[in-house]
Each structure stands twice: as C-alpha cells, then as structure tokens.
Amino acid sequence: MKFDLPEKASIETLQIDVRDVEAVLQGPAMKLPPFPGATVKLKDGRTLFIREARLDEAPKMMEYMERIMKVDHDFYDIVGARVYAEILGWYRHRLKDPYTLVGLVDGVWAGFANGRVMNEKVNISLHTVALDRGGRIGAVMYYAKAYYAFEMIKNTEWWATYESYNGWMRWGLGMAQPSYPWPDVQHELGGGRVYYVTKSYWDQLIKDYVKQMAGGAELDFNVPDSIRKANENFTVPEGINV
C-alpha cells in the first residue's frame, strides 16, 4: 500500500533491521521461575520424572504429534494438531510466555503438559496428554502444571477449556469448575467456554482432588542425580497408545 507524501521527505526509502521487527513480534518475556524437576511414584509402581522440555527437543516432539493427528477417536486429531502448533509456537518464539513440561519414564516420553502465562494473574492451561497408559500419567501431568502455576509462578487464576468429553468430565465437571459468561469471555483454543479455578479454590479443594485423581501422587523435588541423568535426553514411544 502506497500513499502520496503530504510533505517532502529527505529520505524516501527506510531500511529496517529485522532484529528490530523481531523485538516487536516476539515481545519481552516475563521472568518465570524454572520448574525444578520432580519425581512421582506412579500407580503401577514406575517412577515418572517431570521436567521442563528443552527447545532442542521440540522437533522430535512435533514429529510425534504429527502421528497423534492421525488418531481418529476422542478428538486426538485436533489435540495433536493444536499441540503441534503450540510446540512450534514455543520453538519459533511466537507464543507468549509458554511453559512445556514432559513426563519421562526411563528415558521414554510418557506425558506432556503445557500452558502459557497471560499476565501475573492468569495462567492459561493449553493441553495435557498421556502418551502411556496405566499409571494415571495424564492426571499427574495436570497436577504438576497446576501446581507450577499456583505454587511457583503465583498466578491467582487458572483458565481452561475442553475439546473432549472425557476431559470435560474429568476436569470441568469433576472439579466443579465455574465458567465465565460465554461468548463474552472466550478461551483462545477456538473461542470455547472459559472454565476457571481461583487460587483460593485450589487451596480449599482442587489441589487435593487432582492429587486423588493422580492416585495420591506427591511431587518429590529431591530428585536423585541418577534419575536426572537417565532422563537427560528422551526417546519418543515407538507406537501410539492413546
């Protein structure tokens, strides 16, 4: 789009360094506390190690999510596509203040949970996916990211929405989450209804409920060096087990 100049300009061509443009597109990041890493004893006796994903691990995570996109039940196709986009947004610095947690069992990727921080008050839950069955890994990962939001980042509200019936039943209905008026307030995942949890509700009831759903799991932040070393790098599962 070009307009005639209303005033003579001494320089008619402006050169812009794309680094200046990147500063506008990316924006300054908030100083989020690191997730220190924690172990959880699963219901089936295995040990799940939860840590922050590294940026260099994003490509193999996206490759696996491409396979999840092809699953044709329980809305895993749209969950896989959206998680792929969220990982890519984190990888390309196009997602504001994201956090990405992975759950690992003996160096194999078993669980995923992510979200982003809208502001100092609101934490937006994006997705939680169990890649391995039998140990209530999904519930443990959900608990870990909610714990991170409320107890470490110190957010005062948790916003979620649901794509699947199972997710809504377990978390929306199961936690008796209230919702904001819709369509006045919409979640960014397609404009769905915003279900929310406040910090006081978390302290009063939800923290214990999610722990119960996770089989009474406790996050142990005293992680042995041997566990950290065994899960320093991870492989993706050979098959799809969702």
User: Could you give all domains of the chain from N- to C-terminal order, each with its CATH number?
Assistant: 34-230 (3.40.630.30)
Cα distances from 133 to residues 5, 110, 206, in angstroms, run: 65, 9, 23
What local confidence, expressed as pLDDT, does residue 49 receive? 98
What local confidence, expressed as pLDDT, does residue 214 receive? 81
The 3 state secondary structure assigned to 23-37 is: HHHHCCCCCCCCCCC
Going by pLDDT thresholds of 50, 70 and 90, the confidence category of residue 217 is: confident
What local confidence, expressed as pLDDT, does residue 140 receive? 94
Going by pLDDT thresholds of 50, 70 and 90, the confidence category of residue 44 is: confident
pLDDT tens digits, 156-215: 999 999 999 999 999 999 999 999 999 999 999 999 999 999 999 999 999 998 888 888
Quote the Cα angle for 103-107-113, to 5°: 15
What local confidence, expressed as pLDDT, does residue 134 receive? 80
Tell me if 160 sits within 8 A of 195, measured CB to CB. Answer: yes
Residue 8 has pLDDT above 80, yes or no: yes
Q: Is the pLDDT higher at 49 or at 28?
A: 49
d(CA 198, CA 202): 6
Q: Are strands 195-198 and 38-41 parallel, antiparallel or unpaired?
A: unpaired
pLDDT tens digits, 104-141: 999 999 999 999 999 999 999 999 999 998 889 999 99
**Distance, C-alpha 236 to centroid of its chain:** 18
d(CA 50, CA 228): 10
| Closest by CA position to 38, among listed 100, 116, 97, 103 | 103
| Closest by CA position to 99, among listed 81, 112, 110 | 112
pLDDT tens digits, 12-39: 999 999 999 999 999 889 999 999 999 9
Tell me if 83 sits within 8 A of 68, measured CB to CB. Answer: yes
**Distance, C-alpha 192 to centroid of its chain:** 17
Task: Give the torsion sign (CA, 63, 66, 67, 68).
Answer: positive
Going by pLDDT thresholds of 50, 70 and 90, the confidence category of residue 69 is: very high
Count each helix (H run) and each strand (E run) in the chain, helices first.
8, 7
Tell me if 163 sits within 8 A of 189, measured CB to CB. Answer: yes
